[in-house]
Amino acid sequence: MSRCRAAISESSEDSVRVEKKIKDYESSGMWSHAAELADKRSEKTKDKSLRMRALDDYKKAGYDVDTLSKHANSNMD
């Protein structure tokens, strides 16, 4: 039981750490860094809202969002 609890705790702590880092990047205007981190995390967790956040940050960074959206939709199926 303690191993399971440790795995859940680490996962939760990791999520909080990543979320904080994404917010730090966004508040600093480092959109591509925030987007890349959110994108990687969304692939790992299959979190569609985080994927949309990554796309929004990519857009703010100046990337072609239409191309990225097609890629995101194909990866989340």
Are 61 and 32 spatial neighbours (Cβ–Cβ below 8 Å)? yes
Extents of the domains making up the chain: 2-75
pTM for this predicted structure = 0.73
Sign of CA dihedral 32, 38, 40, 43: negative
The pLDDT, as a whole number, for residue 52 is 93
The pLDDT, as a whole number, for residue 12 is 83
The pLDDT, as a whole number, for residue 72 is 58
The pLDDT, as a whole number, for residue 73 is 61
Q: For the chain, list residues with pLDDT below 70.
A: 1-11, 69-77
Written as six digits, the tokens of 59 are 């857009």
